[in-house]
Chain A
């Protein structure tokens, strides 16, 4: 997978919560047996009008977001199906990081990203940044009032920087195990197979297959 230490680029807003994987990549694109070619299909049902032209009312089609490589959205991004195609589409459309808010309420917190999406992102070097609701609101406001705004996501220092006149910095938490893999662009399977003797010992212990 592609490694990631630090990335600077245009930040684009998607002002929607619960963006589900059926929207990120509609099912007609799931029929491919390849791992590439999904970028064009990102948010396809929102992006294009019925005649195939770009739908001007969809915010990511705005000129100011052309070439954007950091996406910020609302809570529960990537909910729905387990399709890794959703992560491939986001990454292949040129995004290196997605930011979303964790929501705190009296019974605990609601995570910014759906579990499987976040897991899949971690296998593809797409960085998922969780910030607080107020920080995300603030970034939304700044992006809206600052055309062409760039941001930097730094995984080493775990910081998002908005390159406004006076740079603004937000710190984020990140799972240390995933961090290391993404920093090094490391393949999971190879690593796991280093423990093959332990897997074999486990299999010997539980006996042959259950059937």
Chain B
């Protein structure tokens, strides 16, 4: 029977089918961060349990960390959480990339970077954007703290098999249009619950043409459409990424050759069946800008703020509430919206390529007087690489702030926050009310669009700058 990529990985990781019908699924890699793990480690302690496979577990700190002066954490509660992770990793023998490590960074950026994310794996983390790792042809999804504890103790999860959906992206993107625009478009079409219960496989020529960084951006936001996971079949682009650079967890030499041979068997077989299939042509896709308070409320940059009765996937009341929160009037052209903050960062768009593409726009330009632009690399390795290429100087010369790695203003748990009423063009993934600071207004866009907005002081169709 022909099988999908998802089914191949699932089947290979079935440890047992339990009497109640759930599957005990083996977890190859467990990523851990400071916010969703303390209660799980505490649970282990109380029950006298240990971490079953410390070698398959990898921890870092990202959500809370300051991105300016890293060793001066003023908030005592953040500090307690960071110290708790240090103690837990120490007590349970788990590798930690802490604040002093040059491998520290956002958990979904360091996994691939360190070669801890490899095709064919099952990967979980107490974080919904674990779907990012699916870009390598892995089954990767977010779990809650009780499940974190379950994986720590048993290296397995009890799961019901999700349904599968194939999304075919066809055509060729115009210059200035990115994979961020592709995924925003998909969520706009299906709504934020449109993929709930499904594992998505992204396929088609428009996906094949993407780099690994761009693929990670798409898989990252699968969860914003409600999907359990998003995945992309591995190909030569994937293998080149794994083989390149210093990735301590990845196989090398003959072991890598053998692994690649296995990985080539992963893609979906011709004739394999999905529970649902759809296709989107991206050839005419303009850059996308979110206008509301969830990632399905999105418009073309060439369009206008919709009238509440024309908004799909939510009630008119919800749309009105979103417009009010965002301080927007229906009929306003998107390019008339002025912004005062730009956040270039997060596990969606803070990899080296994202920074390069933003820097290319900022070269010989300046951030507008009215705008504060924050550039937060996704990992310390990205920061070092960017500095080696001189990107930091381009950002600083243009008037942007250059920071250390962390989640930063993506969820504003550290001091990087919007003030009430501030309006931000953000490369992150969530525009929920208060996400970037209480009363703050978030517009989700690509790095190119965010940077162009930083220069112009309002949204512009970045295709005109290409």
Binds A, one of B32-40, B203-211, B302-310: B32-40
User: Cβ of B47: which chain A residues have Cβ within 8 Å of it?
Assistant: 189
Size band of the A side of the interface? 35 or more
* Contacting residue for A79 out of B142, B154, B192, B438, CB 8 A: B192
Please, how many angstroms separate the alpha-carbon atoms of A108 and B274 in the complex?
A: 14
Q: Scoring B residues 125 to 157 as 1 if CB is less than 8 Å from chain A, else 0, what string do you get?
A: 011101000000000001111110110011110
- Identify the closest chain A residue to B22 (Cβ): A177
- Identify the closest chain B residue to A210 (Cβ): B28
Q: Closest CB-CB distance, A122 to chain B, in whole Å?
A: 9
Interface centre among A32, A176, A193, A210 (most CB of B within 10 A): A210
- Is A189's CB under 8 angstroms from B226's CB? no
Q: Let me know if A120 is at the binding interface, CB within 8 A.
A: yes
User: Cβ of B215: which chain A residues have Cβ within 8 Å of it?
Assistant: none
Q: Let me know if B347 is at the binding interface, CB within 8 A.
A: no
Please, how many angstroms separate the alpha-carbon atoms of A175 and B21 in the complex?
A: 10
* Contacting residue for B435 out of A22, A103, A120, A123, CB 8 A: A22
User: Cβ of A45: which chain B residues have Cβ within 8 Å of it?
Assistant: 433-434, 438
Interface size on B, residues (CB 8 A): 77
Q: Scoring B residues 63 to 79 as 1 if CB is less than 8 Å from chain A, else 0, what string do you get?
A: 11000000000010110
* Contacting residue for A27 out of B24, B315, B413, CB 8 A: B413
* Contacting residue for A110 out of B75, B150, B191, B294, CB 8 A: B191
- Is B127's CB under 8 angstroms from A16's CB? no
Residue ranges of B at the interface with A (Cβ–Cβ < 8 Å): 15-16, 18, 20-22, 24, 26, 28-29, 35-36, 38-39, 42, 47, 49, 52-53, 55-56, 63-64, 75, 77-78, 80-81, 84, 116, 118, 121, 126-128, 130, 142-147, 149-150, 153-156, 158, 160, 162, 191-194, 196-197, 226, 228, 248-249, 276, 294, 314-315, 317-318, 321, 411-413, 430, 432-435, 438
Q: A210-B118, A211-B249 are in contact. List 14 more A-B contacts (CB 8 A).
A: A23-B434, A27-B412, A32-B38, A33-B38, A76-B193, A80-B128, A80-B432, A107-B276, A114-B193, A177-B20, A189-B49, A189-B149, A202-B15, A211-B116
10 contacts between A and B (CB under 8 A): A18-B193, A18-B294, A31-B64, A31-B80, A82-B36, A111-B193, A115-B162, A119-B144, A202-B26, A210-B249
